Structure 1
Amino acid sequence: MPVQTMPRPAHVAEGAIQIHSLITGDPEFDAFRAASLEYSDDWQCFTGFPVVSNWSLEDDAAPLFEEGLRALSLKAAVYALTSDDQAAEISIAVPVDEMTHAMLAQAQLLHRIAERHGVTIIHQTDQEHTDYMSTGYTADCYRAAWGQPPARYWLDATEVAQRRQHLAGLYASIGMGRSGREHSIKFEELAAA
């Protein structure tokens, strides 16, 4: 199978800007944005958003929503240029990827918006790449579209790995194993006490 040649960042940027504009101009965009941000009560990931320094859901949700929308627009633009969903799974920074999950959870709204504009939104967890680097292809495409990616959210994968290691140590110190994937708390014993 031939290796997919990735489109030039300038071409991706042009498509991403157009897709972003179509989505934000859609009559259901405000409802989509509100629903995505309302999802906050379920944002309990221990290794996605918490890698952002001084993370605050109240302060960071809205700007991170914009970054998630830009990421989805970039991926959709790559797909539009290649018709290859694996090629469209470009590298995304972990906090931005986490926000796209909150957005994708608004499946009906996002599907209707995308369908109205002939846009294909790409995301498949087992195909995603969270190995984003500020010197890589995604960053080049982003810069061509919107300028420098905000470093607060577009963290290099090497930095994310260090921060996750630090978080894992902190979680372990309070009895949370495997970065929140398990614990040994027996709630029945707490209730009986």
Structure 2
Amino acid sequence: MTATLARPAPEKVAVRAREIRDAIETDREFARLWETCAKYSADWTDFHGYPIIENYDALADAPAMFRETIRTMALKSAVYDLTNGDERAAELPVPVPVDVMSHALMAQFTLLCRIQSRGRFQFVHMTDLEEGDGGGTWDHGDYTHQVYREAFGPINERFWIGAAETERRRRVLDQVYAGIGVTERGKKVAIPLGVAT
């Protein structure tokens, strides 16, 4: 039996999330954070995260995806602050593409540590606390959606893909990938790696 999470009212989270977002975006190393994430694009590959975005383009989509990820991380940090460090409450369900981009952001570990220290907030990202298999449990109207809308207005529907549609798209990808030897959502890969001609 899972305990019900006690999370703060969306309007309280919204106020703190905007403060955190502003602290990140006005930090003296924010431009470097963006540049390092943008350069990480060669490593922005996965089988069932970004490819669920229609006509995904790692370079063209990067600025908007980065913005969504910064906002999402600010929401999670705000919940963490307002719950006296409750990681479980702060690990909000988020759409899969945003979750994948957060990994690119977290790869800038040293830089993020400095930004957190100067801004006096804590980033939250713990995969053992994420719901479901690799995310995708976010959905329209849920708590994450409510606090996002309260803090930042409408979601970017290109990246905020609901749970059912995420799973539908992943099943399409399952069929496509199986034909080239990629199965179990990318956990098993059996592609012949002979000499290319």
TM-score (norm 2): 0.92
Q: How does 1:1-193 map to 2 (within 5 A)?
A: 3-83=4-84, 84-129=86-131, 130=135, 131-187=137-193, 190-191=194-195
Q: List per-residue Cα deviations over 1:106-163 (Å, max 9, x = no partner).
A: 0000110011111110011111233101110000001101111111101111110110
Deviation at 1:4, TM superposition (A): 4.0
Is contact 2:91–2:129 with CA below 8 Å preserved after alignment?
A: yes
Which stretches in structure 2 are left out of the alignment for 5+ residues?
none
Provide the TM-score with structure 1 as the length reference: 0.94
For residues 48-107 of structure 1, give each alpha carbon's deviation from its aligned partner in whole angstroms, at most 9, with x where no partner exists. Answer: 111111111121111000000011000000001002111001111100111111000100
Distance of aligned partners of 1:192 and 1:125 in 2 relative to their CA distance in 1, 3 Å threshold: closer
What runs of 5+ residues in structure 1 fail to find an aligned partner? Answer: none
| CA-based RMSD | 1.7
